Structure 1
Amino acid sequence: MGVLETRSLTKRYGTGAVAALDDLTVDVGTGVTGLVGANGAGKSTLIKILLGLLPPTSGEARVLDHDIRTEGEAIRTVVGYMPEHDCLPPDMRAIDFVVHMGQVSGLPAAAARERAADVLRHVGLAEERYRLMGGYSTGMKQRAKLAQALVHDPRLVMLDEPTNGLDPAARDDMLALVRRIGHDFGIPVLVTSHLLGELERISDHVVVLDSGRLLRSEATSAFLGDTGVVLVEVLGDPDADGTDAQTRMGQALAARGVTCRPRGGLIEVDPPDVRPEGAAAARDALRDLVRDTAADLGVGLVRVQPQTGRLEDVFRDGGAR
């Protein structure tokens, strides 16, 4: 039994033909799992269904071995949830709010106060915990929301767009916190984002949704593996006709039968079309060809490096794998 699982989960609103979730079957295990998709892909709908707050139209799901249809209260007791939108009472201090949320989750008053102090310190609000949250910055509000999701020592944490509205530095800090929760504290995390690069950095597993449908569910390393494409960068003066070094290098490689194209200041070279057992030797031969071509042209070879995959590629190729 994994942390959570869905089977043919579908959610339709009214009589419309468009489904917010469409026949979704996915399993989520330990570590940090990124739930990625554009706005409207069904991420928030899925979380609300998993929390037992929204009934599915059809299909099944279990969270920590609890049925979402009949055990919603039990799920919410053991799951920490950080909503996307601002939901903090502006006239409350963070310490009082987090203590209250701990008590709502079943902690005695003394234990709730002790836990609240601990988690507020963990999320970086130790000095500001006695301030009214109405005066908090966006980053501080996000940290307070994270603290209330952790106060009752949950067995699973669901974070809906935790970096929403944050500047780059605050975003990095939040992502580091999320990774610590999943790895240092050993609490499984399901985190949503429409910013693909964020989830590449912190997730062990990625689930990709598009218009309510599952595109891919796989270890992050599988998304980011070597694509076989090679990126080449050269440096040199233009020739007498004014043609720059990159263009000359690309033309020379094409003349030698290499499929390539410009990509910004680089040359993107396609892998040789060979059988899998010969791929390694073919890649070595391609690198030798690139080196020799640069030497023949008299240009400096700055780098020859493999291009790894990106989550963006999943949307570009429709998730085919």
Structure 2
Amino acid sequence: MIETAGLTKEYPGVTALDRLDVTVGEGVTGLVGANGAGKSTLIKILLGLVPATGGTARVLGHDVATDGGRIRSLVGYMPEHDCLPADVSASDLVVHLGQMSGLPYAAARERASDVLRHVGLAEERYRPIGGYSTGMKQRAKLAQALVHDPRLVLLDEPTNGLDPSSRDDMLSLVRRIGTEFGIAVLVTSHLLGELERISDHVVVLDGGRLLQSSATTDFLHATGSLLVEVQGRHDADQVLGQALVDAGLAARPAGDALIEVDIRDERTADVVRDLAVDLGLGLVRLQERHHRIEDVFREGGAGSVQPT
């Protein structure tokens, strides 16, 4: 779907993308990075809206440097920022943009009705967008990205400004696009947990550089340790941690009153449980620890990216 080789974008005094080599295939691909990591710049280059300084990029087999118009006719794009006309209904907007993408009027109206229903705006589609909530505006932006039945959609921070409930709904929609609709998705976010939940593949950027690109499951593999949380006294984690060390287990603080314990054998969890009981502590959590996307940023020294 997307392939870049040595892609570079430089502004005066700033390198937005630094020799980026990325391949994006079918399914849902998450593009994660702190604000300023180069996510939006990459999307604009892929759409042929901004020229690269160096390197190459192809979208659906088309060169972004020469075939921008063709790419934009095949790709759906949901911008990050609020850009919707306040005095136009979602129905009229989506129909209009469907026509701009090459659909005849009748087909554009039919497609607009379908996609607005899919994104949950069937009842509100004739209201002026200016009266919409933030969540409804994000759904309208998603609808216009889908109206022309694209092979690929680029979604730039689709959960931006949403409350937790609306964020969950939007993430479910994004996942459905990549699974039920069969449309490839490239979705950006600075919230790590979002991409772990919905992506088949994750691309991690930091300062315009590629930190890692791999299947989501590769980020979430087991670490060979347990995460333990106990309560019952103010220093419960310290008391249990010392008891675990005295019992011959490797244990260390893991932040937020958590203890990380290396798994020695199949009885390690039983030892943790029994020691907590002997000490009169309540065992709140005992689970196998997995790597997360945030570990890539921590190990790579990346900028501030929120885990949830």
Query: Quick check: TM above 0.5?
Result: yes
Q: Which residue of 2 aligns with 1:8?
A: 6
Q: Is the 8 A contact 1:258 1:269 kept in 2?
A: yes
Q: Is the 8 A contact 1:216 1:319 kept in 2?
A: no
Q: Which residue of 1 aligns with 2:43?
A: 47
Aligned AA (2:94): V
Partner secondary structure for residue 284 of structure 1:
coil
**Distance 1:292-1:169 versus aligned 2 partners, 3 A rule:** closer
> Is 1:206 equivalent to 2:206 in the alignment?
no
> Is 1:256 equivalent to 2:247 in the alignment?
yes
Aligned AA (1:12): E
**Distance 1:300-1:135 versus aligned 2 partners, 3 A rule:** closer
Q: Which residue of 2 aligns with 1:112?
A: 108
Aligned AA (1:159): L
Question: Please, which moves more after superposition, 299-308 or 174-183?
Answer: 299-308
Map residues 117-156 of structure 1 onto 2, 5 A cutoff: 117-156=113-152
Tell me by how many angstroms 1:229 deviates: 2.1
**Distance 1:251-1:61 versus aligned 2 partners, 3 A rule:** same
Partner secondary structure for residue 283 of structure 1:
coil
Structure 2 residues without counterparts, runs of 5 or longer: 303-308
Q: Which residue of 2 aligns with 1:276?
A: none
1:220-264 Cα shifts (integer Å, max 9, x gaps): 11111111221124465x6xxxx8543322111122333323343
Residue among 143, 154, 158 paired with 2:154: 158
Residue among 77, 84, 106 paired with 1:81: 77
Residue among 53, 57, 60 paired with 1:57: 53
Q: How many residues end up aligned between the 2 structures?
A: 301
Residue among 74, 83, 95 paired with 1:99: 95
Q: Which residue of 1 aligns with 2:86?
A: 90
Q: Which residue of 2 aligns with 1:194?
A: 190
Q: Name the TM-score, length of structure 1 as normaliser.
A: 0.88
For 1:184 and 1:319, the matched residues in 2 are separated by 37
Q: Is the 8 A contact 1:4 1:62 kept in 2?
A: yes
Structure 1 residues without counterparts, runs of 5 or longer: 272-281
**Distance 1:296-1:318 versus aligned 2 partners, 3 A rule:** same
> Is 1:304 equivalent to 2:295 in the alignment?
no
Which has the larger Rg? 1
Aligned AA (1:5): E
Aligned CA-pair RMSD: 1.9
Q: Which residue of 1 aligns with 2:269?
A: 287
Q: Name the TM-score, length of structure 2 as normaliser.
A: 0.92
1:51-96 Cα shifts (integer Å, max 9, x gaps): 1111100001111111111111110010000001111111111111
Residue among 200, 208, 215 paired with 2:211: 215
Tell me by how many angstroms 1:151 deviates: 0.3
Partner secondary structure for residue 290 of structure 1:
helix
Partner secondary structure for residue 213 of structure 2:
strand
Aligned AA (2:2): L
For 1:159 and 1:245, the matched residues in 2 are separated by 45
Aligned AA (1:259): A
